Structure formats: C-alpha cells, structure tokens
Amino acid sequence: MAAEVLAALNPRPGGRYVDGTLGGAGHAVQMLAASSPTGRLYGCDRDGVAVECARARLAAEFPGRFEVRRGNFTELADWVPAQSSDGVLLDLGVSSPQLDRAERGFSFQQDGPLDMRMDDRQTLTAADLVNGESAERLATIFWEFGDERESRRIARAIVHDREQRIFSTTRQLAELMERINPRAGKKAHPATKIFQALRIAVNDEIGSLKRGLAGAMTLLRPGGRLAVITFHSLEDRVVKEFGRERSRDYVYQGEVDVPELRTPVVAELKWVSRKAILPGESELRENPRARSAQLRVMEKIGHG
C-alpha cells in the first residue's frame, strides 16, 4: 500500500510525519524520501528488534531527520509535540519478520514457543492464556478476536487437553486444532483464527488501536491526515466507528441515535475517502499477505 499511503499523506519538504508502526521502516523510508530534504519523522514500534532495524536503516539514509523510540503507539503523545504532525500512519498487525521467525511464536506453520508478544518486555504470553484461562474466557477470545464459530468446542478441548499436559509450543496447539477441527476442503489452516485471536488478546491490539486513534488526533495539526491500514474486519470496524463518531457534528445519548435528542458538537475530522482503499493487483501478486489489507484516511478539521 506504499503508493496509496503516499498519495494519502502527501509528504512534502518541511512536513512532520509520524509512523506508529515502524516495522522494517518500509513506509518510513518512503515518507522521508518524499519529504526530502527537510521533512522529519517520529517513529515507534513496540518490537525492540524492529526498532533497531528501522533506526539503522533510517540513520544510513536520512541522518538527523528522524527520532525513533521503542514503545506502543498509544504513548506517542508523551513525546511527540501536540498538534505538530502533517500525517500519522498506523500500519497494524504483525510484520513479516515477526511471522517468519519461529521463536516469536506467531506462526502455526513453524514450531516455536507459544509466545506471540510483540514487545518481549511484557510478561503475558499466549501460553499463559492457553494454559491459564477458563474455558469461558478462551471461548470469548476465540469468538471476539477470531470470529471462530467453533469457539466453545475448541476452548473445551484445550481445557480438557491441558489436564494431561501444558501447552508450550505452537505445534502442540496447531496439532490439537488439526485433530478437532479438520480442514475438510477449507483453504485456511484450522488454527488460523485461533492464532489470530490469541495474538490480538496477548498484545491487547484492539485496546491499543482505540487509544492509538484517539492519541493520533492530538498529534495532528489541523489539516493533518491519519492513515490506518487494517488486516481484518475487527480492526477495520474500530477504525470505521472512530471515523464515524469523530466526523459527526452532533452527539447523542444512549444506544440509539434519535434526531430530536441530538446535541450539536464541532466535528473533529472528515473522511478523505469514505470507502476503504484496497491494494492493487500488482501488489497482491508480489505480496499475498496484503490480500486482506484495507486503508482508511481521515483529515483533522481546522477550526479557526
């Protein structure tokens, strides 16, 4: 989505940009290159390995034009000046290096510890959830974060199995999923949704996203843009709902929006494109992992 992000944020010399999910710095490099020679970038990632790689890459190409820190994007407002940014990018989810390294425990295709922490300073791991949570709580995680229709059955099977053993590896969990939830002609591996759900729970991805979106608004200057790339419908729903709420010029109380009971407020942002932007054909050919990516772009409204 590199071209789409650049078109949305339109980096220019002198501009200030924020990348809350640096990863391998692919987007960060593009933003700095497009804003040469004087654009600046603040970047973070909660993954220490990613931050070090990104820092080295940016230092080689754009010395003196960026500041990078390790941390959650929910904390950006603690160190990036308020109302200073022309563009903020959140490219959510896991990176290819995280998925590809067996020892990070994100992948059911490789055997590794049942870990899944983006930030290894955190203590909670996927193994803690799988071995320690009740069947009810596990079922809720699988249902809410994985959209897994068999959530209760799978949760019961895990709790039953763990009477005999502790789940410590990705392979053990993937094998249980294959046993109780066979593929039966489906394209996706039976562990796909369970792994996604555990990863989201371990990293509190939905909570971080909600706080991160609110925080991004304080970083943007009026007219600045927020671009968010999501990888599944749950994330996208959060972004859509955020955009819808903050672009309304009224609030209502209770669950239902009754026009007579609206209170006018000043809208904080507007949609740049109301519809999600999807990756193009050529990107999908080069990078099949982009197939579920969706980009949404909002602009902070200037109130003079």
Ligand X SMILES: C[S@@+](CC[C@H](N)C(=O)[O-])C[C@H]1O[C@@H](n2cnc3c(N)ncnc32)[C@H](O)[C@@H]1O
Q: Which residues of the chain form contacts with ligand X (CB under 6 A)?
A: 20-21, 23-27, 44-47, 50, 72-73, 91, 93-95, 118, 208, 212
Find the shortest distance in angstroms from Cβ 177 to ligand X: 24
Find the shortest distance in angstroms from Cβ 252 to ligand X: 30
Spell out the residues 6+ positions from residue 45 whose beta carbon is closer than 8 angstroms to its own. Answer: 21, 22, 23, 51, 54, 70
* Nearest to ligand X of 73, 195 (CB atom): 73
* Nearest to ligand X of 117, 167 (CB atom): 117
Whole-number Å distance between alpha carbons of 256 and 115: 41
* Nearest to ligand X of 155, 209 (CB atom): 209
Instruction: Tell me the two tokens of residue 109.
Output: 């295709």
Q: Are 90 and 1 in contact (CB under 8 A)?
A: no
Find the shortest distance in angstroms from Cβ 135 to ligand X: 28
Find the shortest distance in angstroms from Cβ 300 to ligand X: 21
Q: Convert 161-175 to b/e letters by CB count within 10 Å (16 or more is b).
A: beeeeebbbbbbbbe
Find the shortest distance in angstroms from Cβ 125 to ligand X: 15
* Nearest to ligand X of 116, 191 (CB atom): 116
Q: Are 29 and 60 in contact (CB under 8 A)?
A: no
Find the shortest distance in angstroms from Cβ 120 to ligand X: 11
* Nearest to ligand X of 89, 194 (CB atom): 89
Q: How far apart are the first and last CA of the chain?
A: 33
Closest alpha carbon to 208 in 199, 98, 48? 199
Q: Are 61 and 29 in contact (CB under 8 A)?
A: yes
* Nearest to ligand X of 22, 139 (CB atom): 22
For residue 297, the SS3 value is: strand
Find the shortest distance in angstroms from Cβ 15 to ligand X: 18
* Nearest to ligand X of 120, 257 (CB atom): 120
Closest alpha carbon to 95 in 30, 25, 187? 25
